[in-house]
Amino acid sequence: MTDSEKNVAVTAPQSTEDNRPVVLKVEHVAKYFRLPTEQATGLKMAFLNWTRGIKGYTEQHVLRDINFEVHQGDFFGIVGRNGSGKSTLLKIISQIYKPEKGKVTVNGKLVPFIELGVGFNPELTGRENVYLNGALLGFTREEIDAMYDDIVDFAELGEFMDQKLKNYSSGMQVRLAFSVAIKAQGDILVLDEVLAVGDEAFQRKCDNFFAHIKQDPTKTVILVTHAMDAVKKYCNKAILIKDGEIIVSGNKNDVADQYTLENLKTAKRSETEQPVNGQYPAGLSERVPRLEVRPESTPLIKTREPFRFCVDYEFNEDEEFYLTVTLFDMTRGGIICDSAADLRQTKRGRQTATFELPLDAICNGDYRITAQLRILPDPDDVQSNQQLAYTDETRSCDFALRISGNNGYALLNKNTMQVKQLV
Amino acid sequence: MKQFVNRLQNRYHYALVVFKELVKTNFKLRYQGSFLGVLWSVLQPLMLFAVMYVVFVKFLKFSDGTPTFPISLLCGTCLWQFFAESTGMGMRSIVDRGDLLRKIHFPNYIIVASTTMGSMISLAINLAVVILFGTFAHAHYTWRVLLVIPSIIQLYALSLGVALLLGSLYVYFRDIGHIWEVLLQALFYATPIIYPISMVIDRGYGWAAKVMMLMPATQTIMDIRHNLISPEYVPTVWQMVNNKWLCLLPYVASVFILWLGIHVFRKYSAKFAEVL
């Protein structure tokens, strides 16, 4: 597992035979923001800070030394967790922000969509808004005239175009904005998390459009998204940004996998948890001050080996007790397996129990293991059990199964269960 | 070299496209939802004029006795309204359109320019009304009317300069909004609009009258009234101040303020998107 993690983290070698022209070049871009530590938006505070010699701000480095190239015809994905700096990067690419260091070179007409419907005004009609929005994107009236019908068709809003925008439903507004975005005849399209728009039929339409634009060697798309499905489906290259740096670049599958892994490593709490004001965290109590499930190695599983995980617990009473481990399916929903009263424990105090779970039977997906600690006042009667502690969301173990060729709509894979036709 | 020229062309082409569309939008939105719509451009200064006329001319007897004083008052009101509105709205325009600045890259001086241009359209309508009324109110139209055009350009340049300057400051310090409101009021009273300049001289403040005439806004307004309405009755800085070099001061100041506005704006505009 650790090996696969290492492999992922290594930058995939750039294909050297790529001789398509570079349309976007980002070189050594760094960006920091000055965050005011004291209120400095008034003349008085600015003056007082100045007289006291206080800078009045701290510097936050959002991006450090970002380098990448996008070639013509690429469908380029930028992924990263919230706060990783990808939106800032996008704003720098779109020239809304100026980088403190480095430079961005753009060849061709770049059409940015940091947000859909920039400048949309509820008091104007749909038609007027299309022209205004188009003008802001740099299109003249004649150019918009030429693509107007396309936009309206795509948005499916033909009969509403002379209505004021405030009379549109929110879905209609978004559809109109999105249509302007993708019908705009730019060379480089920059899209920020705009895939989840509209109803299913409209989604399918967008899907077709992206598939189509992917084939077009003259159009370049830069897509910022959280949807790994979209990255895997459309992109041919991607980068993963973490804390303002590119940690994976190149192969879209590596990027998508690493991103999944990053998400599983949710911010871990400090090891020793002391009750705050005598209050224990959810699920724990004075009798069981510690209970946590954690993966023994990486929670991103790419090989058919049993998954190993540990349960840390602390229990000091003499009563007979056991751990119940439950496996949840986070993708499809439902409980997959449960250990009931099988895992009786004997060690008291602070302990760690290690378990193994074979995963041959199930398809790829996101899963969660939770644990409960229960006592058995009457060791012969399982029904007499009493639950003392459980692991909440933050103490459970999430893992992702990503074995190639193991995708499936259903939970059980074909090796496990398959319908056979008899007649 | 050719590429450079092309790029320059492209750059201003884009600015022009956005400028046109924003002016159009602002104009459409301006009287949005009002019953009389664009008619307010005409009605508002007329009503304001009526109030001032009754209060200052009829009751307080602020008049130099010339037959053109009422029309001169109307003209001054319109011009001052343009100055007050374009600087006030221009100052707030950057912050008000922060939604655009944060989402898209475009030459952001266009926002200020389009806002002031919106006020310019109102002024054009108002001046048409002034000229129409002038024919009934003893205005003396001569070839000098042509001189109004450069004066209007000067007034626009001055307003744009002030708007750019204040607009940049307003992004960082919202206090400017309050300060400018007071300052504008003070400037209004320091400009001979509701009272004739002769009134200041008659009371023995000849020096004050000269200082007032040397302020760019006053000088422009007086120039326009002089050339448009009555070359006989409305004095300009050239008649009030003897030193001809000194007379150039307000003209130079207007250009300087425009230059300063552009300079400050250019220096800080790259950071607007981040600060807002």
Tell me the torsion sign for CA atoms A66, A68, A74, A77. negative
Cα(B73)–Cα(A220) distance, rounded to whole angstroms? 61
Q: What integer is the mean pLDDT of A367-379?
A: 86
- Indicate which of B21, B23, B173 best probes the interface with A, i.e. most A CBs within 10 Å of its own CB: B21
Cα(A261)–Cα(A253) distance, rounded to whole angstroms? 12
Contacts of A268 (CB under 8 A, 6+ apart): none
Portion 15-34 of B in contact with A at CB < 8 A: 17-18, 20-22, 25, 28-29, 32-33
State the pLDDT confidence band at A9, using cuts at 50, 70 and 90: very low
Cα(B209)–Cα(B64) distance, rounded to whole angstroms? 15
B100 with A136: Cβ contact below 8 A = yes
For residue B272, the distance in angstroms to the closest alpha carbon of chain A comes to 9
Phi, psi of A328 (to 5 degrees): -105, 150
State the pLDDT confidence band at A8, using cuts at 50, 70 and 90: very low
Cα(A101)–Cα(B248) distance, rounded to whole angstroms? 45
Cα(B30)–Cα(B119) distance, rounded to whole angstroms? 10
B100 with A119: Cβ contact below 8 A = yes
A137 with B33: Cβ contact below 8 A = no
Distances (CA, A) of A37 to A56, B182, B251: 5, 31, 44
H helix intervals, chain B = 2-30, 40-52, 69-96, 98-101, 109-134, 148-172, 175-189, 197-202, 206-213, 216-228, 237-240, 244-247, 249-269, 272-275
Return the closest-CA partner of residue A133 out of A176, A197, A169, A172: A176
Residue B184 has pLDDT above 90, yes or no: yes
A365: β partners: A401
Tell me the torsion sign for CA atoms A177, A183, A187, A188. positive
Q: Tell whether ipTM is more than 0.95.
A: no
Return the closest-CA partner of residue A377 out of A322, A302, A306: A322
B99 with A95: Cβ contact below 8 A = no
State the pLDDT confidence band at A7, using cuts at 50, 70 and 90: very low
State the pLDDT confidence band at A266, using cuts at 50, 70 and 90: low
- The whole-chain average pLDDT of chain B stands at 86
CA-nearest residue to B30 within chain A is A123
Q: What percent of chain A lies above the pLDDT cut of 70?
A: 86
Lowest mean pLDDT among A10-19, B27-36, B67-76: A10-19
In which residue are the tokens 């009829």 written? B58
Return the closest-CA partner of residue B210 out of B180, B183, B182, B249: B249
- The whole-chain average pLDDT of chain A stands at 79
The pLDDT of residue A187 is 81
What tokens appear for A363 in the block?
């398809």
B106 with A138: Cβ contact below 8 A = yes
Based on the number of CB atoms within 10 Å of its own CB, is A339 exposed (0-12), middle (13-18) or buried (19 or more)?
A: middle
Cα(B105)–Cα(A119) distance, rounded to whole angstroms? 12
Phi, psi of B87 (to 5 degrees): -75, -40
Phi, psi of B84 (to 5 degrees): -65, -45
Tell me the torsion sign for CA atoms B134, B136, B140, B142. positive
The pLDDT of residue A5 is 40
What tokens appear for A68 in the block?
């990448």
Residue B46 has pLDDT above 80, yes or no: yes
A132 with B175: Cβ contact below 8 A = no
- Indicate which of A32, A34, A43 best probes the interface with B, i.e. most B CBs within 10 Å of its own CB: A43
What tokens appear for A219 in the block?
């159009």
**Residue of B135 and B264 predicted with greater confidence:** B264
Within 8 A of A140 by CB-CB distance, chain B residues are 13, 17
Cα(A415)–Cα(A400) distance, rounded to whole angstroms? 20
Number of neighbouring beta carbons within 10 Å of residue B222: 29
Lowest mean pLDDT among A115-124, A189-198, B47-56, B155-164: A189-198
Region at A316 (left for phi over 0; alpha for psi -120 to 50; beta for the rest): alpha
B104 with A96: Cβ contact below 8 A = yes
- Three-class DSSP category at A351: strand
A366: β partners: A400
| Overall pTM surpassing 0.80 (yes/no) | no
Q: What integer is the mean pLDDT of A67-74?
A: 84
Cα(A108)–Cα(A304) distance, rounded to whole angstroms? 47
State the pLDDT confidence band at A1, using cuts at 50, 70 and 90: very low
Q: What integer is the mean pLDDT of B161-183?
A: 91
Amino acid at A417: M
Residue B261 has pLDDT above 80, yes or no: yes
Q: What is the largest CA-CA distance in chain A?
A: 92
Number of neighbouring beta carbons within 10 Å of residue A348: 13
- Nearest-CB residue to A96 (from B14, B102, B176): B102
State the pLDDT confidence band at A56, using cuts at 50, 70 and 90: low
Cα(A122)–Cα(B18) distance, rounded to whole angstroms? 19
- Nearest-CB residue to B29 (from A94, A112, A123): A123
The pLDDT of residue A14 is 46
A279: β partners: A276
- Nearest-CB residue to A123 (from B13, B32, B99): B32
In which residue are the tokens 């119940």 written? A324
Q: Would you say how long chain B is, in residues?
A: 276
Q: What integer is the mean pLDDT of A125-145?
A: 84
Lowest mean pLDDT among A133-137, B5-9, B135-139, B214-218: B5-9
Tell me the torsion sign for CA atoms A83, A86, A90, A92. positive
Cα(A131)–Cα(A218) distance, rounded to whole angstroms? 25
Residue A255 belongs to what H/E stretch?
helix A252-264
Q: What integer is the mean pLDDT of A207-218?
A: 80
- Nearest-CB residue to B103 (from A46, A114, A121): A114
Q: What integer is the mean pLDDT of B254-276?
A: 88
What tokens appear for A300 in the block?
């991103």
Cα(B23)–Cα(A156) distance, rounded to whole angstroms? 29
